[in-house]
Structure formats: structure tokens, C-alpha cells
Amino acid sequence: MTAGEDGATRRAMRVQLGVMFAAIVLWQAQGALVAWAAMPAIGTLLLELGAELPSFTRFALVTHRAWGLAPVITSVVAIDVLRRPRPTTAHALAVLVGGALVALSFQTGLLYAVLEPILQGLGKVDNVK
């Protein structure tokens, strides 16, 4: 935000920034909640099927409970940006992009952690025939 902006424009930009931060935090929270709810059952299922778990799947099974810290940390940093009298565009953009990358990594990481052992198992079944 530049120094020449009036109060109404700054407020509008702050509201827009707050909405974007909220969307990013909710996206992260969704990924963390899905991991928290589903990973134990998925891990049990994969082990009962005798699937060889890739290293990323094992990593996700061990760390999924800590994924809930990401939305909390992003919220704290976002509040810091919003509380500043004149937040810099670079700082706000860094928080938005960083938060979005974490949320995207949760989403794609969950898919990979679940689907990779299943696809490996299907490949082994296909090779047996």
C-alpha cells in the first residue's frame, strides 16, 4: 500500500486482504482436518492389505497430526500483516503465496500418500496375472 492512498481505499484493501487470508487459512484447515480424520484409517487399511508403504506415505502417517499447526501459524502471521499501519505488498504477498503453497502441498500430499501405495498394489496384482 502506498502512502498516497486515502483511508477508505486502505480499509477496502485491508478487507480484501483479510478475505484472501481467511480463504488460505480455511484451505489449510480443510487439508489438516482431512488428514487428521482419514490418515489413521487409511494407514490401517493399507497395512492390512499388505501394501508396501512408500516413504512419503509413512511420513504422512507419522506427521499428519502436526499439520494443524500450519493454519494456526498462517493466521498469526496474517493477523500481524493486517495489524500493521501500512503493510508492505511484498510481506502480504509472501504470506498469501506461502500459505497457498502449504495448502496445496497438503492437498496433493494427501492424494499422493493415499494413492501411491494403492497404485503400486494394483501394479503388483496386474503383474501376477
Model confidence over 82-118: pLDDT tens digits?
Answer: 999 888 899 999 999 999 999 999 999 888 888 888 8
- Give domain status of residue 64, yes or no: yes
Where does residue 50 fall: left (phi above 0), alpha (psi -120 to 50 degrees), or beta otherwise? Answer: left
| pLDDT interval class at 128 (50, 70, 90) | low
In a domain, 96, yes or no: yes
On whether residue 2 sits in a domain, the answer given is no
Whether 11 is covered by a domain: the verdict is: no
Q: How confident is the model at residue 2 (pLDDT cuts 50, 70, 90)?
A: low
Residue 58 lies in a domain: yes
Q: Is the pLDDT of residue 124 over 60?
A: yes
Residue 74 domain-assigned?
Answer: yes
**Looking at the 3D structure of the chain, how many domains does it have?**
1
Q: Which domain holds residue 80?
A: 25-128
Report yes or no on 59 lying in a domain: yes
Query: Does the pLDDT at position 126 exceed 80?
Result: no
Is residue 20 one of the residues assigned to a domain? no
Kindly give the residue spans of alpha helices, DSSP state H, lying in 49-128.
55-63, 69-83, 89-128
